[in-house]
Amino acid sequence: MTRVIIDCDPGHDDAIALVLAHRYAQVLGISTVSGNAPLSETTANALMVTALLDVDTPVHAGAARPLVGEPRHAQVVHGASGLDGVERIEHRRTVESLNAIEFLLDAPDKDVWIVAIGPLTNLALALERDPSWVRRIAGISIMGGSATVGNTTRVAEFNIFADPEAAARVFGAGAELRMCGLNLTHQLRTTDAIVSRLQSVGTARARFAAQVFDYLHLRMEDLIGEREAALHDPCAVLAVTHPELIEMEPRAVDVELEGTLTRGMTVVDQRSSRRQDPANASVAYRIDAHRAMDLVLECMA
Ligand code: BDR
Ligand code: CA
């Protein structure tokens, strides 16, 4: 089984990614970061998901703010708790440490993938301490950025926009990178039909997933008038556990830090001529959404 560390900011889709990772990979640990909600909330949510799954995966709290500027959150989608709309589960789990950076630096091995599904602050801080860290891991699978449209701005995706300086360091670190951006994750969508299927499964995790999707559908109905939601973060897990489902192309990707309209954009070299810049990432373009959704449903049983 692929060995992974999940760096996350749960977050509804992060929570589903955690369920998938525990089913299809060996999860060595979870590091949390400020993102969808403040760090205290994302850490509490990560602990709650491990309680739901009845696993003792260590949870390490990381950065409470981006490298530059003030923290940005995505309450408009995920609510103030980062996981609004789901029943809270009583449990006794506590954090393993308040030093996710130390954990990230210590844990790796040549076969360990970091699955990064929140702002990239923890990873950038680890790189600052030890730039050779990326050569001691298998690679980094990122949900972030886009080769087309943005969501937080016209061209910037939330995880990158929330800490562009951190993202720039990670994209420039020389790591084996897989990038599942919005151009990919918009292809994997939940619907009310999926919620109905989950409601009939009868397990605690299926009930949880049904509540997660139902809440996201409600928010999307408000925001864009459609009861459907993209399952962003699970794509970055599948990119390492089931890479055969995802078509990726080597591309040069840089993060824009200066643009007045484009700060936080992942600028992907998609020129078809031979003048392409050297690739630093495998950019995901297509996913077998049918099979991917089957895998999501399978792990709720
Ligand atoms: C990303 O931002 C967050 O709101 C989601 O959890 C996902 O990681 C999508 O832009
Ligand atoms: Ca996330």
CA 243 – CA 203 distance, rounded (Å): 28
Q: Is 150 in the pocket of ligand 1 (CB under 6 A)?
A: no
- Which ligand ends up closest to the CA of 235? 1
Give the ligand 1 atom nearest the CA of 36: 4
Residues with a beta carbon under 5 angstroms from ion ligand 2: 9, 11, 14, 117-118, 233
Tens digits of pLDDT across the chain (301 residues): 999 999 999 999 999 999 999 999 999 999 999 999 999 999 999 999 999 999 999 999 999 999 999 999 999 999 999 999 999 999 999 999 999 999 999 977 899 999 999 999 999 999 999 999 999 999 999 999 999 999 999 999 999 999 999 999 999 999 999 999 999 999 999 999 999 999 999 999 999 999 999 999 999 999 999 999 999 999 999 999 999 999 999 999 999 999 999 999 999 999 987 778 999 999 999 999 999 999 999 999 9
Question: How many Cβ atoms sit within 10 Å of the Cβ of residue 98?
Answer: 12
Q: Identify residue 235 by its one-letter amino acid code.
A: C
Give the ligand 1 atom nearest the CA of 78: 4
If you take atom 10 of ligand 1, which residue's CA is the nearest one? Answer: 158
Using the mean position of ligand 2's atoms as its centre, give its distance from the Cα of residue 75 in Å: 12
Total H helices, total E strands in the chain: 12, 12
Alpha carbon 259 to chain centroid, angstroms = 25
103 and 132 Cβ atoms separated by less than 8 Å: no
Q: Is 256 in the pocket of ligand 1 (CB under 6 A)?
A: no
CA 133 – CA 74 distance, rounded (Å): 30
pTM recorded for the entire structure: 0.98
CA 22 – CA 264 distance, rounded (Å): 31
CA 268 – CA 171 distance, rounded (Å): 11
* CA trace torsion 151, 152, 157, 162 (10° rounding): -160
Give the ligand 1 atom nearest the CA of 185: 9
Using the mean position of ligand 2's atoms as its centre, give its distance from the Cα of residue 42 in Å: 10
Active site residues: 232
Using the mean position of ligand 2's atoms as its centre, give its distance from the Cα of residue 82 in Å: 10
The residue whose CB lies within 8 Å of the most ligand 1 atoms, and thus the one to mutate among 8, 12, 13, is 13
If you take atom 2 of ligand 1, which residue's CA is the nearest one? Answer: 158
Using the mean position of ligand 1's atoms as its centre, give its distance from the Cα of residue 232 in Å: 6
Q: Is 42 in the pocket of ligand 1 (CB under 6 A)?
A: no
Question: What pLDDT, on the 0 to 100 scale, is given for residue 272?
Answer: 85
Residue 144, strand partner residues: none
Question: What pLDDT, on the 0 to 100 scale, is given for residue 274?
Answer: 72
Q: What is the CA radius of gyration of the chain?
A: 18
Question: What pLDDT, on the 0 to 100 scale, is given for residue 207?
Answer: 97
Question: Strand 189-190 relative to strand 229-230: parallel, antiparallel, unpaired?
Answer: antiparallel
φ and ψ at residue 203, rounded to 5 degrees? -100, 160
* Structural domains in the chain, sorted by start: 2-298 (3.90.245.10)
Q: For 81, left (φ over 0), alpha (ψ -120 to 50), or beta?
A: alpha
Alpha carbon 180 to chain centroid, angstroms = 9
Using the mean position of ligand 2's atoms as its centre, give its distance from the Cα of residue 111 in Å: 23
φ and ψ at residue 235, rounded to 5 degrees? -60, -40
Q: Is 229 in the pocket of ligand 1 (CB under 6 A)?
A: no
Q: Identify residue 2 by its one-letter amino acid code.
A: T
φ and ψ at residue 281, rounded to 5 degrees? -155, 155
79 and 222 Cβ atoms separated by less than 8 Å: no
Q: For 11, left (φ over 0), alpha (ψ -120 to 50), or beta?
A: left
Question: What pLDDT, on the 0 to 100 scale, is given for residue 108?
Answer: 74
Question: What pLDDT, on the 0 to 100 scale, is given for residue 236?
Answer: 98
Q: Is 183 in the pocket of ligand 1 (CB under 6 A)?
A: no
Question: What pLDDT, on the 0 to 100 scale, is given for residue 133?
Answer: 95
